[in-house]
Amino acid sequence: MKEIILHLGVHKTATTYFQSRLYNSISQLANAGVGYLGLNETREYITSKINGNFKVEGDLENLFKESSTVVISDENIIGGTEKISSELIYPEVEKRLSFLLGKLPITIGEVHITIRDPEAYLISRYCEYLRHYKFLSSSEYFDSFNLRAFSWLPLIQKIEKITSKKVIVTPFETLFNDEQQYLEKLCGVEIDFQQAGEGAAIRRSKITQEAYRILEHLADHYPRHMTKKLMNMMDNNKQHTKGSPFRPFSAELSEVLKKNYQMDKEELGLF
């Protein structure tokens, strides 16, 4: 039976890097009976059409016809990096996934997700937000979310309920121990996976404290949407001075988030 492998992110867990490796391995995957559409095409044919005029057509239709297994990988399927307002972290996940599953013509075989230390995730997610939306300070960005109660479990449980599949969870800190093994587990085949492409978008990092202060200063004096362009410029230019880590959370909150993550991993049996 034909089936889909869903790789749902989450954001800031090296998804773009591994999507680049999958894209560069399309020929090898196809020879093994596994179809992969590529991130740009996935967003064109799938992600951008969620809750809209979704049709299985073009390259997507051909992929389903020609492959016994199809890997669909896009963290934006479950939502974007907008301001967090729900314990689910991605509050539209049920609506978006339910819509998608009602449109896809073949069964879900596996569902994969990567989780990471909440503090690192939240800071990275906020930095990604700044690349796409008008400026909010870090305190404004998190003010509708109970940071101390952060847990990955509600999101994972919701995805399991929607897909009727046990989500295969990988901790971010183990991803690079053996990339080949991870990609084999994700795709279900043993092939020679190609290396990722190069470029700022593949390995986009967190901003520094100095960069944050510059953005904050600009937002104080000019329209807040202007900071997106400045973020793009800073992403593509190396800081000349030594950067200081951007740390918006207190030491006490950092410790709470670390403990929450340990409890999540224990609950998920990831030790």
Query: Is residue 134 pLDDT above 60, yes or no?
Result: yes
For each of the domains in the chain, give its residue range(s) and CATH number, in order of start. Answer: 3-206+246-268 (3.40.50)
Give pLDDT tens digits for 16-39. Answer: 999 999 999 999 999 999 999 999
CA distances from 119 to 33, 232, 253 (A): 39, 23, 9
pTM of the model as a whole: 0.95
**Calpha distance 192→245 (Å, rounded):** 37
Query: Is residue 72 pLDDT above 90, yes or no?
Result: yes
Question: Which residues 6+ apart lie within 8 Å of 174 measured at CB?
Answer: none
pLDDT of residue 201: 60
In which band, very low, low, confident or very high, does the pLDDT at 156 lie, cut at 50, 70 and 90?
Answer: very high
Query: Is residue 200 pLDDT above 60, yes or no?
Result: no
> Token pair for residue 70?
């199809």
**Calpha distance 8→177 (Å, rounded):** 21
